[in-house]
Amino acid sequence: MESSISFADLLNQGFSRLEKEAEPLQSLFVEFVVEAVPTNPYHPELDVLAVSLRIGSHLNKRSYIVKNLYDIFTRISDRFSLYRKQTI
């Protein structure tokens, strides 16, 4: 007994269902905070800059601290470089 639906049609129908059920995109806000941390009160030129990043949603007005900035920036730059390679 042979099925009237091909494997390709089955895959396409499955992916179209996922597209219909996708949630709408939400806009996010990003907050960068840069502050000078004094290391020696007699030499302000030795102060260290501390950077923190908070990301949140406009819908629930909450923001979350990003723990490891190095990992986030590495992943963003990797994706950006991959995107640039694909468009060239």
Rounded to an integer, what distance in angstroms lies between the CA atom of residue 73 and that of residue 48? 20
Nearest residue to 53 (alpha-carbon basis) of 32, 84, 35, 39: 32
Average pLDDT for 31-48: 92
Tens digits of residue pLDDT in 42-60: 998 999 999 999 989 888 8
Backbone angles phi, psi at 86, to 5 degrees: -70, -30
Cα distances (angstroms) measured from residue 13 to each of 22, 23, 82: 15, 18, 29
If you average pLDDT over every residue of the chain, what do you get? 79
Q: Strand pairing partners for 35?
A: 50
